Amino acid sequence: MHRRKWQRILPATGLLLWVAMTHAAGRVPADAVYRNGYVYTADSRDSVRQAIAVRAGRLVYVGSNSGVAAFVGSHTEVHDLGGRMLMPGLTDGHMHPLAGGSALTKCNLNYERLDVATLQARIQACLDKSRDREPDGWLEVSNWFQEAMIGGTTTSHATLDALDTRRPIMVYSSFGHTVLVNSRALALANITAATPDPKGGVIERDAQGQPTGVLQDAAFEQVFAAIPKATPEQNAAAAIAALDALRRQGVTTVLDAAADETTISAFAAARQAGKLTARVHFAVLIRPPEVKDPAAAIARARDLAHRFDSGPVRPEADLTVRNIKLFLDGVIAAPAMTGAMLEPYFENRGSADRPHWVPGANRGPDVYFAAPQLAQLVTMAADAGFEPHMHADGDRAVRAGLDAIAALRRTHPADLIRAAIAHDEIVDPADFARYRAVGAIPVLSFQWEKPAPDTVEGARDYLGPARYRYVEPAGFLARQGARIAFGSDWPVDPLNEWFALKVGVTRTNAPAAGPQYAGRLSEDQGLTRRQVLRAATINAAYELHQDDQTGSLEVGKLADFIVLDRNVFEIPAEDIANVRVLRTVVGGQVVYDATSR
């Protein structure tokens, strides 16, 4: 058997041995006891207990206040929860933590709804604060909410060329699939009218065929190549900033859903510095052109795993490299509309005042990987012990992902190789039941399941009424037996896990969003509180093949848990967004304590 497959079996075997040894040794005093609480376990019965005991980074008791008394010794730290809720730490099954940490340090538009003039003013302010970088220092601008631009989303290099600077500028859309650059940046990236669209990307052009400055997906890799790379020290600082943000939210495990050597090295540096406070899994990004030599792509992933994977999960936070990431399409929202659709997007053949929306000719791009190549790549990765994690927004991309997983299942059963499809924003109803049938895990970003600029102005009319009924189909998938996991996709959105979980239940926006975004999104019924909490705990742990160690509070599992300021099950659903984490514990070690700050 391949070494990497042994790694999937050893943790469970070691856990059974550890439990047996613990029982044989009797009830040795615990390192820490938490009692008198509402302990939501997320176990197979969704049990609620009163107390837990922790020893050597693992749970040695989960039960009643009276039962935990036997684990209290003279050196045991005893914490009275005072009735507060304690639950497993959150597992975020899809995010980009290094990009999130890096965005905190850059010119940041903060996902705000801006008009063109305000957009220009905000960027000009960043330029003015860094005049010492004229004329050649790049300005990178993060978290541009392109879909929410007031007065339309049309921008071009002219928008940036009008600013008082000679510097190259790149503005990065929060959705992660679009950048806007000025003319200087186009020139430095050598993108001209003669530059062909790359596989998996689009260079938007004007009527004369000239690049507009808007680049989609793989098309902006030439711009990234022209920007001086961040230093290892800068990347390590971004990783540490991300880890600080995560522990404050109660996140104890994450998947970096588009990793390369740079991102992994940054968290390895944090580990070396003793500042790794979450378990970080990495999905190695394999780009569409690499399908020409899939063996080489898999070999690259194996090399990264050999160099960085820490082996079986243990109490200390560590790194895991056991997934690959494949982008199958872009995004379904206007103006990009790069999600691959089974039927065409609608277009307005009327006017702005008297719109007439009808199906057009645009179905989005081809799926970025051809079907035979995708099936081959996913299977070859599984042969090497890697689990596939695929981005699919449009229903044609979703179907391609499901088809590839169905092919994978001919040789690799669902429990051995866990395959995930992230986002799943539009799924054809004929495919709802296929997730369970082929063992595909939908990893959903719950915060998108609300009326907002991207789901109303950016999607409703372009999708048409039939598809819009099912937009963000979490409830529909759950009713068909899909095992739903949660992934925030940070920094596509602000890191606000509890707002996302609230939206997963209510499918409503915050009142501050305004009356135009009131009410629920689509006809989907949403999820229950238990369903969203399981999605962000045991289900996401299952997705990452870590459920034998984390994701629920059970004797023998690692002591990854959080304490909350209110009970998620007893407050109004809208109030879930206001939950605050009081303590975050990873492997028995307190990594965040709000009361000590």
**Domain total in the chain:** 2
Q: Is the dihedral of CA 545, 546, 549, 552 positive or negative?
A: negative
- Assess contact for 22 and 556: CB atoms under 8 A: yes
Query: Do 218 and 141 share a structural domain?
Result: yes
For residue 133, being part of any structural domain is answered with yes
For residue 398, being part of any structural domain is answered with no
Q: How far is CA 464 from CA 337, 343, 344, 590, in A?
A: 13, 10, 10, 49
DSSP letters along 112-138, please?
----HHHHHHHHHHHHHHTGGGTTT--
Nearest C-alpha neighbor of 452 from the set 505, 498, 520: 520
Residue 333 has pLDDT above 70, yes or no: yes
Report pLDDT digits (tens) over 339-396.
999 999 999 999 989 999 999 999 999 999 999 999 999 999 999 999 999 999 999 9
For residue 113, being part of any structural domain is answered with yes
Average pLDDT over residues 21-50: 86
> How many other C-beta atoms lie within 10 A of the C-beta of residue 91?
31
For residue 492, being part of any structural domain is answered with no
Query: Do 179 and 82 share a structural domain?
Result: no
- Residue 105 is part of which domain span? 97-226
Residue with the larger pLDDT of the pair 199 and 313: 313
What is d(CA 325, CA 594) in angstroms, rounded to the nearest whole number? 35
Query: Do 50 and 169 share a structural domain?
Result: no
Average pLDDT over residues 82-93: 98
Strand partners, 178: 216
Average pLDDT over residues 312-319: 96
For residue 511, being part of any structural domain is answered with no
For residue 294, being part of any structural domain is answered with no
Query: Do 130 and 66 share a structural domain?
Result: no
Residue 36 has pLDDT above 50, yes or no: yes
> How many other C-beta atoms lie within 10 A of the C-beta of residue 45?
7
Average pLDDT over residues 150-172: 89
CATH number (domain holding residue 586): 2.30.40.10
pLDDT band at 147 (very low <50, low <70, confident <90, very high): confident
- Assess contact for 401 and 431: CB atoms under 8 A: no
Query: Do 54 and 164 share a structural domain?
Result: no
**Phi, psi angles (nearest 5°) of residue 217:** 50, -125
Domain final residue pick, 203, 226, 249: 226
Residue 442 has pLDDT above 90, yes or no: yes
- 302's enclosing H/E stretch is helix 294-308
For residue 275, being part of any structural domain is answered with no
Report pLDDT digits (tens) over 447-463.
999 999 889 989 999 99
Domain final residue pick, 226, 260, 279: 226
Q: How far is CA 361 from CA 162, 214, 369, 443, 454, in A?
A: 34, 21, 21, 30, 21
Quick one: pLDDT at residue 13? 47
For residue 562, being part of any structural domain is answered with yes
Average pLDDT over residues 169-184: 88
Alpha-carbon torsion, ordered 404, 490, 471, 330, to 10 deg: -50
Quick one: pLDDT at residue 597? 61
What is d(CA 323, CA 55) in angstroms, rounded to the nearest whole number? 31
Query: Do 150 and 78 share a structural domain?
Result: no
pLDDT band at 220 (very low <50, low <70, confident <90, very high): confident
Query: Do 68 and 175 share a structural domain?
Result: no
Query: Do 107 and 74 share a structural domain?
Result: no
- Assess contact for 12 and 548: CB atoms under 8 A: yes
Which DSSP symbol is given to 508? B
User: Can you list the alpha helix ranges (DSSP code H) found in 451-591?
Assistant: 460-463, 465-468, 474-479, 497-506, 529-535, 538-543
Query: Do 151 and 74 share a structural domain?
Result: no
Quick one: pLDDT at residue 152? 64
pLDDT band at 269 (very low <50, low <70, confident <90, very high): very high
Nearest C-alpha neighbor of 378 from the set 328, 413, 419: 419
Residue 154 has pLDDT above 80, yes or no: no
Query: Do 151 and 122 share a structural domain?
Result: yes
- Percent with pLDDT over 90 in the chain: 84
Residue 259 has pLDDT above 60, yes or no: yes
Residues 6+ apart with CB under 8 A from 23: none
Query: Do 141 and 69 share a structural domain?
Result: no
- Assess contact for 260 and 300: CB atoms under 8 A: no
Report pLDDT digits (tens) over 384-427.
999 999 999 999 999 999 999 999 999 999 999 999 999 999 99
What is d(CA 347, CA 358) in angstroms, rounded to the nearest whole number? 6
Residue 23 has pLDDT above 80, yes or no: no
Quick one: pLDDT at residue 143? 84
Query: Do 157 and 136 share a structural domain?
Result: yes
Residues 6+ apart with CB under 8 A from 170: 138, 139, 140, 141, 179, 180, 181, 185, 220, 223, 227
The encoded tokens of residue 461 equal 């009319």
Average pLDDT over residues 295-319: 97
Average pLDDT, the chain: 93
CATH number (domain holding residue 141): 3.10.310.70
What is d(CA 103, CA 173) in angstroms, rounded to the nearest whole number? 12
Quick one: pLDDT at residue 203? 94
Domain final residue pick, 209, 226, 243: 226
Of 146-160, 181-195, 233-247, 547-561, least confident by mean pLDDT is 146-160
- Assess contact for 88 and 538: CB atoms under 8 A: yes
Quick one: pLDDT at residue 153? 60
